[in-house]
């Protein structure tokens, strides 16, 4: 035990002597959380909607009033009057407008006559996010206009009442779980995998070979040191990210216990996986070349950016064996849903089991020779 802790002490001393390395390991996930969290996933605000009104009747006035209500309240779009439909279409095509509404001539007369009038909506569907938001807002407006002033006593249409379990979840909060997992992965990759290969390339590990340290003690010592680095990184980003995202759950004692267990389990899983990949690598350039590939292969299929259910089958297969998936699911269950142990116990079992299995496989592959 003393010999194993000596390895841990050496690794941690080396780690804390280089604070820049610690900062680098958290810079990417933190920048990603701030930039992507604010750049994506938000509701559309301030879109430019052109309005071509060929009718100017009483029913067209109701549409203009609804547009003014949208501009003042939810602010999805603001309207710009146009006299010519072709000009409005061209401005949508060139990007001066995000969409255009066409109110046809005789619209009010057809409404009053019950003749099923049509309102035109021109959108640039190369931007699916913008076009979907404008289409959904216009459909809601049309549904409101179609609703009768006096509701019939007998229900003629089925209504859907949506119950949301949680308040509106901003994308930064949604992304926080993936950012914490990514910070731990970067800490393991930079502070564990790359340093271990660099030590082998420099011959530093040869000093261990003249000591009575066993292969098992060396493996456990190196991985314990890597796990501690990952835990420090995970705790730091969890606290900073939660404060940035406005999540106060980290101040609840039971949540702290759940997060601690999940961070420890994730660090063990990531270290075991990385040690298994690097145990026979000799060239220090290999882990640097693998960093981007592994980041893409493990992070994006995990559900950190978008739900796993939207993936094709082959990508779902990767997610099933990806420790990132279970870490992200666990962090979301705790930070966003307050799900408790009932929501994360399967994640904990997989992460602990995955870490132990990879270490069990990697130990016989570790060479205690030159």
- Is the model's pLDDT at 138 over the cut of 90? no
Q: Compare 285 and 184 and report the one with higher pLDDT.
A: 184
- Is the model's pLDDT at 309 over the cut of 70? yes
Q: State what percent of residues in the chain have pLDDT above 70.
A: 79
Per-residue pLDDT averaged across 65-69, rounded? Answer: 87
Residue 27 is predicted with a pLDDT of 73
- Is the model's pLDDT at 280 over the cut of 80? no
**Interval 215-262: pLDDT, tens:** 777 778 777 888 888 888 889 889 988 888 888 888 889 999 999 999
- pTM, full prediction: 0.73
- Is the model's pLDDT at 151 over the cut of 70? no
Q: State what percent of residues in the chain have pLDDT above 90.
A: 12
Per-residue pLDDT averaged across 130-157, rounded? Answer: 75
**Interval 341-357: pLDDT, tens:** 888 999 999 999 999 99
Which CATH number among 1.10.390.10, 3.40.1710.10, 3.20.20.70, 3.40.50.10490 corresponds to the domain 47-144? Answer: 3.40.1710.10
Per-residue pLDDT averaged across 73-85, rounded? Answer: 86
- Annotated domain spans of the chain: 2-39+170-365, 47-144
- Is the model's pLDDT at 370 over the cut of 60? no
Most confident of 16-25, 209-218, 347-356: 347-356
Per-residue pLDDT averaged across 115-132, rounded? Answer: 80
Q: Is the dihedral of CA 133, 136, 142, 145 positive or negative?
A: negative
């Amino acid at each position: 035990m003393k010999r194993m802790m000596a390895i841990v002490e050496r690794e941690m001393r080396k780690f804390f002597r280089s604070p820049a390395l610690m900062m680098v390991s958290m810079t990417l996930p933190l920048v990603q959380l701030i930039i992507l969290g604010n750049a994506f996933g938000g509701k559309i605000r301030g879109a430019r909607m052109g309005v071509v009104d060929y009718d100017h009747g009483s029913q067209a006035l109701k549409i203009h009033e609804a547009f003014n209500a949208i501009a003042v309240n939810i602010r999805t779009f603001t309207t710009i009057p146009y006299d010519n439909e072709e000009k409005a279409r061209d401005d949508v095509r060139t990007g001066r407008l995000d969409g255009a509404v066409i109110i046809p001539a005789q619209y009010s007369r057809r409404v009053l006559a019950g003749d099923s009038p049509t309102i035109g909506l021109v959108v640039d569907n190369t931007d699916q996010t913008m076009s979907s938001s404008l289409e959904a807002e216009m459909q809601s407006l049309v549904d409101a206009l179609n609703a009768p002033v006096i509701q019939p006593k007998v229900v003629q249409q089925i209504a859907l009442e949506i119950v949301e379990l949680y308040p509106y979840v901003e994308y930064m909060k949604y992304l926080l779980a993936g950012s914490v997992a990514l910070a731990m992965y970067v800490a393991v990759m930079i502070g564990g995998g790359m340093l271990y290969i660099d030590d082998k390339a420099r011959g530093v590990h040869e000093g261990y070979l003249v000591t009575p340290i066993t292969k098992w003690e060396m493996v456990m010592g190196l991985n314990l040191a890597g796990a501690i680095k990952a835990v420090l990184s995970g705790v730091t980003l969890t606290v900073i990210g939660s404060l940035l995202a406005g999540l106060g759950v980290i101040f609840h004692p039971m949540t702290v216990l759940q997060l601690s267990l999940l961070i420890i389990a994730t660090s063990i899983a990531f270290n075991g996986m990385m040690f298994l990949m690097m145990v026979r690598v000799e060239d220090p350039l290999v882990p640097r070349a693998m960093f981007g590939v592994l980041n893409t292969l493990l992070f994006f299929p995990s559900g950190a950016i978008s739900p796993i259910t939207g993936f094709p089958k082959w990508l779902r297969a990767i997610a099933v064996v990806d420790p990132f998936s279970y870490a992200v699911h666990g962090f979301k269950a705790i930070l966003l849903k307050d799900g408790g142990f009932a929501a994360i116990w399967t994640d904990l079992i997989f992460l602990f089991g995955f870490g132990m299995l990879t270490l069990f496989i990697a130990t016989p592959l570790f060479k205690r020779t030159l």
